[in-house]
Chains A and B, each alone.
Chain A
Amino acid sequence: GENVEQHPSTLSVQEGDSAVIKCTYSDSASNYFPWYKQELGKGPQLIIDIRSNVGEKKDQRIAVTLNKTAKHFSLHITETQPEDSAVYFCAASLAQGGSEKLVFGKGTKLTVNP
């Protein structure tokens, strides 16, 4: 089955700096890669996603890149702000028995220091 590795597990940056979180996946059939942000006491919220036919996608200060050959994808946050502090999860799709599920990495706790 699919295995998703996520690094680093914790990341501390100064406000205004960039943050990069990296994930690798094992199933070459995976074709959908979302990123979720989880704030304290809340459920994960989808912030950006990318499909396998695209190499990069950007939404304001957030961008995601995908390298299908190497089976890795990354989240880039520029000009970080204290409100970006949260746990971020990457995920990869896994087709299974006529449906599809998401397999998640273990998360990265991002702290943005003012």
Chain B
Amino acid sequence: DSGVTQTPKHLITATGQRVTLRCSPRSGDLSVYWYQQSLDQGLQFLIQYYNGEERAKGNILERFSAQQFPDLHSELNLSSLELGDSALYFCASSVDGWANYGYTFGSGTRLTVV
């Protein structure tokens, strides 16, 4: 157990629907990162939050949004889902907003859009 908790582990939904993925960071970590992992694209950075505020944005689609709550858990909202959104979504956390102690990853949410 890495200390980063992601729920649900699996999600199957239809095109056009909306889903919410949840992440609880490791105790003491203030920063949360969301990554998308598809077969051919590796780990693609989506967005970062630090202590409740958005810090950095990657290649996140406008249909996707995220937030970090006062208790530091984070949610990634995916709407108007398309088949191509099927992927593994990972959340990672770090102590601060800097990468130089590495990230701790959760076990991911596998999203299947049918």
Contact = CB atoms under 8 A, between A and B. Distances in A.
Contacts of A107: 42-43
Contacts, number: 69
B108 A97 contact: no
A83 B43 CA distance: 23
A43 B99 contact: no
Interface residues of B, number: 28
Main secondary structure of the interface of A (DSSP, over half): strand
A51 B100 contact: yes
B99 A32 contact: yes
Nearest to A1: B58
Contact of B42 (A45, A46, A98, A106): A106
B102 A89 contact: no
Interface in A28-85: 31-32, 34, 36, 41-46, 49, 51
Contacts of B106: 43
A13 to B, nearest CB: 22
B52 interface: no
A99 B43 contact: no
The list of the 7 closest CB pairs from A to B, nearest first, reads A43-B105, A99-B97, A106-B42, A104-B43, A99-B55, A32-B100, A100-B99
22 contacts: A31-B100, A32-B99, A34-B99, A36-B105, A43-B106, A44-B105, A45-B2, A46-B102, A46-B104, A93-B100, A96-B56, A97-B55, A99-B31, A100-B98, A100-B100, A101-B48, A101-B99, A102-B99, A103-B45, A104-B42, A105-B42, A106-B40
